[in-house]
Amino acid sequence: MSQGAGQDPLHGITLKALLTQLVGKYGWEELGQRITINCFTHEPSINSSLKFLRKTPWARKKVEELYLNTPWRNEAIWSKAQDKKDKPKN
């Protein structure tokens, strides 16, 4: 039986969005410590990392697992809502 979209927690999240959120949370240095791959530790960039991750299933799996196991995902949504609430209206 195939896994449907309702069962895939990453359904609708692009690799670029996922990576951008992880870099925003951890930064390149900590991301490279958590997942030791050269695209995170030597002259990292979103584009070079995406190119590597798209060609390397084991590395992509590690990044996806880190994303899924990161507890801040809901906090990020909350903090964005708080930022909008706290900004003065013009």
Domain span at residue 65 reads 15-71
Is 51 inside any structural domain? Answer: yes
**Average pLDDT taken over every residue of the chain:** 82
Find where tokens 């899924």 sit.
Answer: 68
Q: Maximum CA pair distance of the chain?
A: 54
pTM above 0.85, yes or no: no
Is 89 inside any structural domain? Answer: no
The CA-atom distances, in angstroms, between 44 and each of 32, 37, 38, 72 are: 9, 10, 8, 23
pLDDT in tens, 31-40: 999 999 999 9
Overall size of the chain counted in residues: 90
CATH code of the domain in which 66 resides: 1.10.720.30
Is 37 inside any structural domain? Answer: yes
Token pair, residue 88, equals: 């003065």
Is 32 inside any structural domain? Answer: yes
pLDDT in tens, 56-68: 999 999 999 999 9
Is 6 inside any structural domain? Answer: no
